[in-house]
A = this chain, B = another copy of it.
Amino acid sequence: MIDQPWRRSPEQFAAHVEQSLEWVVAHMRAAGSRSPWSPLQPGELAARLPNGPPDGPVPLEDVLADLQEVIEPGLVRWDAPGWFAWFPSNAHPDAILGDLLASVTAQQGMLWASSPACTELEGRMLEWLRLAMGLPERFAEGGPGGGVIQDTASSGVLACMVAARDRATDGAATQRGAAACGELAVYASEQSHSSVLKAAGICGIGRDHVRLVPTRDDFSMDPRAAAEMMSKDAAAGRRPVFCCATVGTTGCGAVDPVSDLGRICGDHQCWLHVDAAWAGTAALAPELRGPVVAGAEDADSWSFNPHKWMGAAFDCCCLWVADRRPLIDAMSIEPEYLRNSATDSGGVIDYRDWHIQLGRRFRAIKLWLLLRCTGVSAIAEMVRFHVSLAARLEAAVEAHSHLALTAPRSLSLCCVHHMDGDQATQRVIDRVNADGRFAVTHCRLQDRLSMRVAIGTLAVDQDTVDALIEVLEEGDPGPEAASIA
């Protein structure tokens, strides 16, 4: 193959993978060896890369050396035991292996005909998860709805909002444009994810027409306020078309009252979407499931991200719809070059019609590996363990003289503030992040700064959480120290 320098034999590939495993193992073992945050300043990594592409091929050992020298310092250790920032983005080894098989098999599952395996394994994996999580029959494989993998929850909420917009306008929004659809409105709590606003801007409803519904003391959506806002809009000629209920908000893990919202949405034929991106994984543990799936039987769509807590490796968002027709109507376009006898028969699922993209990766195979090699009960065990660690932190905070929980602990997420106010809380956050073992981020709850401690990486252990508690108990350096900084 000297005259075909672009080719690499399967044996060469296997040798390259084996050669890389030494770095991979060392990298994985070092997850807790430095601060989870990157030490680099903006531009530092780019400055160490050549300005232009290399002339010719370099040996893999050179690339692996650069991986360690140049790239590694720019990595953030999302896999560190002390990673408590944002939400976990776990890549379980079984899922990593599954994703490797997805690359190796090089499926492009836009149509059933372009990959029966990608299509049918996906349908079945969504059904496995539906059963394992106790989600209602209305989302079942083979019914009028079904499940699909989206890349992220943001894409999923956009696809559902477009479907809802079209259901409410008999398809006029997609066909004739939002300008021809009159006035529409979308609802989500003040604590909902930014993706709702983003989707409303993208799909032509407009960010101004997203009603950010006030929340109750526990930061969950106030259903009475939602009902009033919908009625007021409807009376003014603006149609409620989409409501996003969050199960486990990004800020503090609040759980919106899905059942109540189902009833209210029913009054307005408003699409109810449930975003359980992070918390959904907890439904795998039967004793934690109740609040997570409550009301799902009234939802038009329900989603969670196995790439977060569950370990399916970014990206992988599972979305179920009760009725796939509005989604397919909004997303389907059949150009001649994609016509085929399987599609024409009407007897197969073509997943290109379930999302924004046309092409799609074989993501189901990483779920298959994870669910079989690790299994549902082990993942449920992990969830329980993480929740118990958060309860340990919760107890320490409750016993603390200067710290308090800003919101009730939600599963494995604790939000903590200093009783002396935001400046003192900021000092706590800075101290934790400066320690070198931990990473935390913040949120604002009722205009109070709060430190978010989202427990849930695969590597987290009790020692690490106890070490965090110790740092918190070391106390506050006081306003004098802060004024020097």
Contacts of A357 in B (CB 8 A): 151-152, 154-155, 315
In the A-B complex, the 10 residue pairs with the smallest Cβ-Cβ separation, listed nearest first, are A204-B204, A177-B206, A74-B117, A178-B204, A178-B178, A174-B201, A10-B28, A13-B93, A53-B128, A6-B382
A247 interface residue (CB < 8 Å to B):
no
Residue of B nearest to A447 (CB): B336
A90 interface residue (CB < 8 Å to B):
yes
A75 interface residue (CB < 8 Å to B):
yes
Task: Decide if B46 touches A313 in the complex (CB within 8 Å).
Answer: no
Q: A24-B10, A106-B90, A158-B356 are in contact. Are A336 and B375 (CB under 8 A)?
A: no
Task: Decide if A374 touches B5 in the complex (CB within 8 Å).
Answer: yes
Apart from A5-B375, A8-B94, A54-B376, 10 more pairs, CB < 8 Å: A4-B381, A8-B92, A16-B93, A51-B127, A63-B373, A75-B117, A95-B103, A179-B181, A315-B359, A315-B361
Residue of B nearest to A252 (CB): B337
Task: Decide if B45 touches A117 in the complex (CB within 8 Å).
Answer: yes
A89 interface residue (CB < 8 Å to B):
yes
A-side interface residues, number (CB < 8 Å): 169
A38 interface residue (CB < 8 Å to B):
yes
Interface residues of A in 254-276 (CB under 8 A from B): none
Task: Decide if A103 touches B174 in the complex (CB within 8 Å).
Answer: no
Among B45, B128, B313, contact of A103 (Cβ-Cβ < 8 Å): B313
Task: Decide if B333 touches A74 in the complex (CB within 8 Å).
Answer: no
Nearest CB of chain B from residue A419's CB, rounded to whole Å:
20
Provide a sorted-by-A list of 19 A–B residue pairs whose CB atoms are within 8 angstroms: A6-B381, A8-B374, A13-B96, A14-B24, A45-B116, A46-B120, A53-B371, A56-B377, A57-B374, A67-B101, A75-B107, A75-B117, A76-B116, A106-B313, A175-B207, A177-B209, A202-B202, A202-B356, A314-B359
Residue of B nearest to A63 (CB): B372
How many angstroms from the CA of A136 to the CA of B6 in the assembled complex? Answer: 26
How many angstroms from the CA of A359 to the CA of B152 in the assembled complex? Answer: 7
How many angstroms from the CA of A101 to the CA of B99 in the assembled complex? Answer: 11
Most B CB atoms within 10 A — which of A25, A27, A182, A209?
Answer: A25
Task: Decide if B75 touches A105 in the complex (CB within 8 Å).
Answer: yes
A55 interface residue (CB < 8 Å to B):
yes
Nearest CB of chain B from residue A62's CB, rounded to whole Å:
8
Binds B, one of A229-237, A293-301, A437-445: A437-445
Task: Decide if B25 touches A21 in the complex (CB within 8 Å).
Answer: no
Nearest CB of chain B from residue A358's CB, rounded to whole Å:
5
Task: Decide if A442 touches B89 in the complex (CB within 8 Å).
Answer: no
Q: A14-B24, A16-B93, A57-B374 are in contact. Are A197 and B333 (CB under 8 A)?
A: yes
Nearest CB of chain B from residue A173's CB, rounded to whole Å:
7
How many angstroms from the CA of A385 to the CA of B7 in the assembled complex? Answer: 12
Contacts of A58 in B (CB 8 A): 372-373, 375
One digit per residue, 1 when the CB lies within 8 angstroms of any chain B CB and 0 when it does not, for chain A 67-84 equals 100011111101100000
Task: Decide if A114 touches B76 in the complex (CB within 8 Å).
Answer: yes
Task: Decide if A93 touches B162 in the complex (CB within 8 Å).
Answer: no
A409 interface residue (CB < 8 Å to B):
no
Contacts of A40 in B (CB 8 A): 116
Task: Decide if A106 touches B314 in the complex (CB within 8 Å).
Answer: yes
Residue of B nearest to A51 (CB): B127
Among B27, B208, B369, B372, contact of A177 (Cβ-Cβ < 8 Å): B208
Most B CB atoms within 10 A — which of A92, A195, A336?
Answer: A336
How many angstroms from the CA of A230 to the CA of B204 in the assembled complex? Answer: 22
Contacts of A361 in B (CB 8 A): 314-315
Residue of B nearest to A47 (CB): B120
